Structure 1
Amino acid sequence: MDEFMRELYQDRTGDPDTLAVIVVKKSALEDAATDYFDGILLVIKNERSKNWEIKHYEYKDQKAAMHIVNTTQIQQWLSQSTNRRAVNWLMNGKVIFDRNEYMKNFKERLIHFPENERQIRIGMEFSKLVRRFADGKSLYYEGHYLDSFNQIVHALHHLARLAVIERGYYPEVTVWQQVKQVEPEIHKLYSELVTGREPIEKRLELLLLANEFELATKLKLGSAHLLSIMEEKEEAWSVEELKERVSFHDYSLDLSMLLEFLVKKGLVDIKLEETRGKTINHRKYFVNKFMQHAAL
């Protein structure tokens, strides 16, 4: 296997655009972490290169996948949590080539998790938590218990990732193992929902109450990023202006619900502006600074 992998990556290390090469080997007979391949080669290139290419190879009875990824794509995976498997490769794979200590510096940055990136990720997970919880609650009251169960499980996943990020760590594939160490109460909620012996309706009823409490607890933390954006100007924001502003941070899809949630909690106020018809008003949003400081 080593010879097979070496033959695949040796030409890549001579390319001046290649910053690092990482090898991940299959650790079990059916290893989903490597997409059932015997090995993964992760080739990291500078931002001038194509975002992401995949190549599959086979040698005798062995197969390998090569992922050629530029630094922009890696940053997107990290900031938006859209490919946690790749983050696992970055954190736990074997570095076999490291130009100018790129991977050494990258891993140090992962360990320290810069504050501005952390705040963005927290805002993103919080918006998804609000969405999943609201959907789950609505489905519960409509009597769709299995669908509600699915939404609440997802809500707990977002709550778990939020807790991990709050402690300064990147969420890994094994996020529940991380949560068990940093916030065991959330791990207990998940266990009770999934393994509890009570009827599903009863488990959901208890979890909805617990989720309500957790949302209140995480309100200040989870809304900090959006509120900081809204304070960038004195005027009230239209929803379209805010959508454009947060689109890069990947929670524009849940923005409307998040705004309404913050309005209900008193952290955001509404300003009405007349339209041409005069009987209909535009709805705009601004931070309620009194309530915001009261929540500190």
Structure 2
Amino acid sequence: MDLHLRPIYQERASDSNTLGVILVEKIDSVSPITDNFDTVLFIITKDNEKPIFTKHYSFDNNKKAVMHTITEKQIQKWLIVGYNKKIVDWLFYGKVLFDRNEYVDTLKKNLKNYPFEGRQVKLGVEFAKMIRRYEESKVSFDARDYFDAYNHMIEVLHHLARQTIIQQGRYPEVTVWNQLKGYNVEVYNLYEKFITSHKEIKERLLEIFDIIKMLIEESVEESAQHLLEVMKQKAHWSVQQLHEDEELNVYSVNLEFFVEFLVEKGYIEIDRIETKSPGVFHRYYTVKKK
């Protein structure tokens, strides 16, 4: 690590609130992992007034560094919902400069082993994203917006790849397709054929829609397990209660779409409760009993 940055790292390491300090350095001339900064200082804290705090530095005239101070709660949220995929690479490939009570080491081991509960949450989140993108692709296709349908399908395949890796008990990395080669050649070949085919985009989409539909059908029960287990804790739920539940907010904007999908598939039933307006009912959701 550059001597100019050492005092900054040492100051953070001496703070009792700091759990770990990781150094990530730019290797290639273009480095998406570091956002093209020469150095990333990744600081993990127990708590903070702001869950994400960032500072930029210049040193040695033309070099630049970034310091990200992020709370452990925020990191756990990102790891579940997949909003910041660089975090995984920073944890696995960065140099650990400080590790209070082996927090970073334990976090990395947990990611590699991927506990069952975490895997089920992650599966549900990726599946919810995938089915939304699949439906968006079909809608664009029916409207003859083939380029939009193609872009949505690429996203579907990315979520499918991540889901496949999670099913293998691994955590998806940024280079997900390279990672997938070792776990599922079938899905990898599906992606490769779709993007390299010389056929018209319309034909490629027609060929892949039914394949994706079949893969979705095969994984519904496993992917919905977390959502359904949470919902079994109450007799019925209003949509507002679903959104306010701490365990379900990881599904974010895809929650209602996922629930309606499971209604269509027969996993969730509708309870209708009368309102003051004749013929209008409150709509509540309950897990169908087997």
User: Does TM, normalized by the shorter one, top 0.5?
Assistant: yes
Secondary structure (helix, strand or coil) at the match of 2:4 reads helix
Q: Are the structure 2 counterparts of residues 73 and 259 from structure 1 closer, same or farther at C-alpha, using a change threshold of 3 Å? A: closer
Match of 1:56, as an amino acid? H
5+ long unaligned stretches in structure 1: 291-296
- Write the deviation string for residues 188-242 of structure 1: whole angstroms up to 9, x where unpaired: 2211221111110010011111110110011111111111112112x23222222
1:173 maps onto 2:190 in alignment:
no
Residue in 2 that maps onto 1:293: none
Matched residue count: 289
Match of 2:272, as an amino acid? L
Residue in 1 that maps onto 2:63: 62
Q: d(CA) in 1 for partners of 2:252 and 2:108?
A: 29
Residue in 2 that maps onto 1:227: 228
CA deviation after TM superposition for structure 1 residue 178, in Å: 1.9
CA deviation after TM superposition for structure 1 residue 6, in Å: 2.1
1:34 maps onto 2:34 in alignment:
yes
CA deviation after TM superposition for structure 1 residue 88, in Å: 1.1
- Write the deviation string for residues 101-135 of structure 1: whole angstroms up to 9, x where unpaired: 22111211112212212111111111111111111
- Give the TM-score of the pair, scaled to structure 1: 0.92
CA deviation after TM superposition for structure 1 residue 246, in Å: 5.8
Residue in 1 that maps onto 2:188: 187
Q: d(CA) in 1 for partners of 2:89 and 2:110?
A: 15
Q: Are the structure 2 counterparts of residues 232 and 247 from structure 1 closer, same or farther at C-alpha, using a change threshold of 3 Å? A: closer
Residue in 2 that maps onto 1:50: 50
- Write the deviation string for residues 86-107 of structure 1: whole angstroms up to 9, x where unpaired: 2210121011111222211121
1:95 maps onto 2:96 in alignment:
yes
- What is the root-mean-square deviation in Å for CA atoms of aligned residues? 1.7
Greater Cα shift, 80-89 or 195-204: 80-89
1:17 maps onto 2:25 in alignment:
no
CA deviation after TM superposition for structure 1 residue 247, in Å: 7.0
- Write the deviation string for residues 52-81 of structure 1: whole angstroms up to 9, x where unpaired: 211111112321111112212211211221
CA deviation after TM superposition for structure 1 residue 248, in Å: 5.1
Preserved CA contact (<8 Å) 2:140 2:149: yes
Alignment of 1:85-164 (within 5 A): 85-164=86-165
Preserved CA contact (<8 Å) 2:121 2:226: yes
Secondary structure (helix, strand or coil) at the match of 1:64 reads strand
Residue in 1 that maps onto 2:242: 242
Q: d(CA) in 1 for partners of 2:246 and 2:164?
A: 22
Q: d(CA) in 2 for partners of 1:49 and 1:93?
A: 26
Secondary structure (helix, strand or coil) at the match of 2:182 reads helix
Secondary structure (helix, strand or coil) at the match of 1:2 reads coil
Residue in 2 that maps onto 1:279: 279
Preserved CA contact (<8 Å) 1:80 1:249: no
- Write the deviation string for residues 257-285 of structure 1: whole angstroms up to 9, x where unpaired: 22222122222222222221231222222
Q: d(CA) in 1 for partners of 2:264 and 2:98?
A: 52
Q: d(CA) in 1 for partners of 2:81 and 2:118?
A: 10
Secondary structure (helix, strand or coil) at the match of 1:22 reads strand
Residue in 2 that maps onto 1:74: 75
Q: d(CA) in 1 for partners of 2:73 and 2:165?
A: 24
- Give the TM-score of the pair, scaled to structure 2: 0.94
